[in-house]
Chains A and B, each alone.
Chain A
Amino acid sequence: MNENKNLPTTKKEWIRRGLHDGIPICTGYFAVSFALGLAAREIGMTALQSFLMSLGMVASAGEFAAVTLIGAGAGVLEMIATTIVVNLRYFLMSCSLSQKIGPRTPFYHRFFLAYCMTDEIFGLSSAVRGYLEPVYTYAMTAISVAGWCSGTVLGVLVGNILPARVTDALTVAMYGMFLAIIIPPARRDRFILGLVAISMALSGLFSILPVLSRISSGFRIIILTLSLAAAAAALKPVDIEEDADPSAQEEASHA
């Protein structure tokens, strides 16, 4: 899906690539988690609590929901239900990424990869051609979570020190990464281009139309992902031979 001109071959190269690709995630996370820290501070969470929350959950919408629930003194069931719904897209992402794990990758990697499933890290991990080398994901996660946790803690400790236009600019870095993941394949494949355009258009409509705009962004992502990916799969099934490397096939179809 992504540019893979000089594909790393050794684990060391994959780690370096992961750290490199993790830098924009780290800056984006830092800005977002800073805002999260401010919210956590308002409901009286300590720096240590916010640090452990960010380390354990690593989820933007999920943690904002968590802060809200803790602040409101919500019940256990409500906490579990909300966490599952708000983060249901990670379920889809894990399903998707589980297909990129090579047959020779040891099983225990699945437990660690599960921890790494965030929007950005999933996006980049699934953008790799061929099977995933888990250390690439771990390297990206390490640098991203460092930014995520330090941003949260700083938000709690020092409040708003960065000017808004700086945090704003850092925040859009994440969207730049998303675009870098989806646009190049869309350029090569008109069907994907159409899918991306329709996805954005419907997402935009959902956010402004009456009734539909009341759907939370977490649910909107789930609904549109399920329906549009299913429609795309029905309209244009991807030809992937069993046991073949799906990305090699994809590459061939673009050649």
Chain B
Amino acid sequence: MHNTWLSLLIMTLSIYAVRMLPFLLLRKNITNRFIRSFLFYVPYVTLAVMTFPAILSATANPGAGLCALIVGVLVAWFKGDLFTTAVCCCGAAFLFSLIVP
């Protein structure tokens, strides 16, 4: 397959189908207690798994990522604000990279 445009079209449609099918199929609220609980827990697990250990390899020096992780957990725990947490993580990673080259 050497047609870039066609490749892009195929993959764009595939990814949209993956995202849209549940919205089409699950029109009513699920009543099954297990499934509801399962879906309730999905975001916590997914976001936790995506954060660690990926945050360590997001920066050139894993220490900067670790620093951002610790600062992020503390700020989120005590303040909880989304924007503040994100900015503090950026600041922590940036400061670390300035101090430790």
Q: Which positions in B face A, CB cutoff 8 Å?
A: 1-2, 4-5, 7-8, 10-12, 14-16, 18-24, 26, 29-31, 33-55, 58-60, 64-65, 68-69, 72-73, 75-77, 80-94, 97-98
Contacts and interface: CB of A to CB of B under 8 A. Distances in A.
Interface of B is mostly: helix
Nearest to B89: A176
Contacts of A184: 76-77, 80
The 10 closest A-B pairs by CB, nearest first: A176-B89, A183-B76, A233-B37, A24-B86, A199-B48, A94-B22, A56-B12, A114-B20, A176-B86, A180-B85
B21 A196 contact: no
Contact of A242 (B29, B65, B85): B29
Contact of B20 (A110, A123, A171): A110
Contacts of B58: 168, 171-172, 175
Nearest to A168: B59
Nearest to A175: B55
Interface of A: 1-3, 20-21, 23-24, 27-28, 45, 49, 52-53, 56-57, 59, 62, 66, 69-70, 73-76, 79-80, 83-84, 87-99, 101, 110-111, 113-115, 117, 119, 122-124, 126-127, 164-166, 168-187, 192, 195-196, 199-200, 202-204, 207, 217, 220-221, 224-225, 228-230, 232-234, 236-238, 240, 242-243, 246
A229 B36 CA distance: 11
A218 to B, nearest CB: 10
B68 A175 contact: yes
Given A99-B36, A115-B19, A228-B41, A93 B72 contact: no
Contacts of B90: 27, 169-170, 172-173, 176
B97 A169 contact: yes
B38 to A, nearest CB: 4
Nearest to B95: A169
Contact of B34 (A127, A196, A224, A234): A234
B18 A70 contact: no
A173 B80 contact: no
Given A166-B94, A176-B86, A187-B77, A230 B38 contact: yes
